Structure 1
Amino acid sequence: MDIIIGFILSFAVLLLGVLKGWYIGFLLVLCLIIFSIISLRRGNDSKDIIYMAWDGGKKGLIVVKIFLLIGMVTAVWLTAGTVPAIVYYGMKLMNPRFYILFAFLISSTVSYMLGTSFGTVSTVGIALMVMAKGGNINPNLAAGAIISGCYFGDRTSPMSSCANLVSNLTETDLYPMLKKLLKTTILPFLIVGIAYLFLSFKNPLNIIGNEILSDISHTYTINIMVLLPAILMLVLSILKVDVKLSMIISIIIGIIVAKIVQQVPVVSLFKTIILGYNLEPSNPLVNIIKGGGMLSMMKAGFIVFISCAIAGVLNGIDLFNKVNDLFTKINSKSGLFLVTGAVSLFTAAFGGNQSIAIVMTSEIMKMKYEKLEIDKYQLASDIGNTAVILSPLIPWNISNIIPTTTLNVSSLGFIPYAFYLYFPFIINYIYLRISERNS
C-alpha cells in the first residue's frame, strides 16, 4: 500500500511541476526522498538506501559525460555555422510542393547529426514552422512532421544521449545496438515518408522562407567548409569510431572552422562552449539559432542521474521483481514487446520525462527478457521502439512539452500527424506477430 501512495504522491508532484514549468530535476529529488522514506519503513537503513541510490545513479554517469560532449558539439556547430548551413542548404533544396515530406526529412537529418530532439526542434524546427505558418500549412500537421523527424535521431544517432543511455542500461555495445535498431527502422521510416509525401500533395506550401535564407547568409559565411564538423562526425560514426572520441574530434575541427571561417574570437568561442550560443538581440535569427553549451546539458544530466537513482531504490525494495510477476503468462516476443510498450507509456506518464521512462522500462523488463533467454540487443531495440519514441505522446511529458512549446502548437493536436512516434511500434509488433505465426 505504501508504494502505491508513493507513486501517487510522486506522480502528483511531477505533474504539478511540469504544468507549472518547474525544473523536473528538483521534483525528481523529492520523488527520490519519497521512495527512500518508503524504503526506511520497510527496514532498510539509511546507508543501504544511499548505496541503492548510488548503485542506480552511477549507471547514468557515462551518459552525463555524453551529455556534456553533446552540449559542446552543439555550441561549436552553431558558432562555426554548421547548423545554420544545414538549415540553409536544406531549405534551399526544399520543393514547396513537398513541404511536409521535406520537413520530416530535414528534421530527421539534423536530429541524426545533432543526436538531440530538443536541439533539432529549437533550430531547424523553428525555421520550418515559421515557413509553415507563413505558407498556410496546418500548424499541427507541420509540427507532427517536424517532431517525428526530431525523434528519429534519438533512436538512431550515435550522438544521441537516449541511445547511449539505452546502450549503457542494457549492457550492449553502442554500434551493434544501433545496427540492430536500424533493422527495425527502415520499413517504418519508408512508410512514414510515403504518408508525408501523400499529405504533401494535399498541403503544398504557398510561399518559401526566403527571408530566413537571407538572414542566415547575412549572419554567417556559408560554404562547404562549415559542414566539415558534421561530415567528419558522420564518417567517424560509419567507421564505428568511439562516439566520445568522434565528438571530441568534431569539436576540435569545429573550433578551427569557427576561428578561420566565421572569425570568432577564441575567448568568445570557449565562453560559448560553456554557456551556450546566442546571437545579438537585434539579429532576426536570435530566437531560431541558439542553444548548446555544457551548462545547458548539466541539467539534463542531473535528471538522468536522479532517474537512475530512483530506479536503484525501487529495485532495492524489490519492486521490479514484483512487477515482473505480473508478466508470468507472457512467453512470446510479440507479447513481450507489447508489454514493454505498455510499461514505457506508464513510466513516461509517471516520470514526466523520457529519461525516467527509459530507465524504469529497462529495469522492469530486463529480468523478463533474461528469463525468456532473449538477448540484450533485442531488449535495447524494443526500448528504442517504445520508451524512446512513445514518451512524447504523453502531453505532460517534457519530451512533448518542450517541442510543442518551442513550436507554439497544441500538446495534443500534433499527435495524429506525428507518425514516426508510433508507426515503428505498430509495424514492429505486426512483424513479430507474423514471424511467430510463420515459425
Structure 2
Amino acid sequence: MPQDAGLIGSYVSLGLQALIPIALGSFKSLKTPEATIRKRKLARKGQLLDGQEDSDDEGEEEIIEETLTWADSLLFPVFGSVALLGLFLIIKYVGKEWINTILGVYFTGAGMFAIHSTFSSITAWTLRAFGHKSITYHIRISAGIRQVFHLPTTLPSMILVPIAIALPLLYIPLGRPYILSNILALSLSTATLGLLKLDSFLTAFLLLGVLLVYDIFWVFATPVMVTVARSIDAPIKILSPKSSPFALNGKPLEFTMLGLGDIVIPGLVIALCLRFDLANYVKSHPNQEITTKSKFSKPYFITGLLSYIIGLTITILVMHTFKAAQPALLYLSPTCSLGPILLASIRGELKELWSWSDAPSTEEKEKKILDETIEAPSEAAMKARAEAKALVAQSENEDGNSEETKINGTSTLIEDDDDSWMNSGVVTPDDQGKARKRKGGKKK
C-alpha cells in the first residue's frame, strides 16, 4: 500500500509538471490581433509627427515564430525516426557517455535562452497579477535615423539574466540532478510551444495521427525508443521519483518519466485551441481593442487541457497495470483530437473549426522582422521630424498646397500618411538642382 501511494504521488507529480509548460507555452504563443496592431501604429505615427513620445508600444514587438503546415506534419515522423535511430546506433556501438556529453553541452546553451524566456514570462504574469506593471526599456541601435536593432526589456527580465546563465552551467558540474534536469526540460518545452505554431486544426490532427503511428512503431515494434529514453541523461524528459527523494541514501532509486514529445506535440494543439478562442472573441467584438492580455472565454483551450489530462491518465493506468512502457501518444492523440471536435459539434462551430487558419497573412510574411520605428526622444528622429514639418509648413505658405514643396527648383513630395523618410535616408538637392539620394533614399 505505501508503495502504491508513492507511485500515485509520482504520477500526479508527472502530470502536473506536464501541464505547466503546456499552459505557459499556450499563452506565450498568443499574439496581438492585427486589427489592434494597425490601430496602435496609426496612433503611434500621429504621436511621432506631433513630437510626442511613443508611450505604449506594448504587444507590438515582432515575435520570432515558426508556423508548421500540413506538409511539415508529414515530415515530423521522418526526421524523428532518423534522429531516434541515429541516437540508438551511437548508444549501441559507440557508447552513451559520448552522446550524453555532447547533448549535455548543447542543452546547457539552449537552456540559457529557454530558462530566461520562461522565467521572464512567469515573473511578468506574476507581477501583473498583483497589479504591478514593469517599465519597458528599449535598447536601440541606429544607423543615422534608421533603426537596425530594437530590444525591449524590463528590469525583472534583466535581473533574471545571471540566473538563466548560472542554472544551465551548473547542470553538468552538479552531476545532472533530476530537479535541474526537469527545470531545463520544462523551460525548453515552454519556449518551444511559444516558438512553434500550427497553422490550422487540419495540420494539428494530421500531426497527432502520423506521430501516433510513429510512437506505436518505435515503442512496440522495436526497443529503440525505450533504450534511447533510458540511456540518455539529458533534459529530453521529465522525471518524478517513485519513492521519496529524501531517502537515507539521498537519491531516489527509480523514476517515472514522460518524454518532451508527449508534452510538446499535444501542447501545440492545445495552444492552437487557445488562439482559436482569441480569434473567436476578436470576431465577436470588432470594435474592441483586444490584446494578448485581454480577458476572453476559453472553451476550446479548457477542453484541450481536459482532453490531455484524460489521455495522460489512461496512459498511466495502462502503464501501471501492465508494468510496461507505453507510447503516450497512443492515448493522447485520440483524446486531444476528439475533445475540440466534440466541442465544436456541440456548439455548431465544426465548419469554422476546420476552415479557420492561423497562418501568417501575406502582409505579415512581407513585413520585416526588425522593428523600424525610430525612438522618439533620439536626436536624429527629432531633427528629421522637424525638417519634415518645416517642409510642410513652407509648402502651405507658398501655394496653400501641403502636397508639394519646391527647393532650388526641385519638387519634394510629402504625403500625409507616408513615413518612409524615417527609413530611407534624406533627399537633398545638389548644386545643379537635381535630387540626390543618400543612404538608400528614394528619388522623388
Q: Which of these two proteins has the greater Rg computed from alpha carbons?
A: 2
Query: TM-score with structure 2 length normalisation?
Result: 0.25
- Which one has the bigger helix percentage? 1
- Bigger relative contact order, structure 1 or 2, given CA contacts below 8 A and separation 6+? 1
Query: TM-score with structure 1 length normalisation?
Result: 0.25
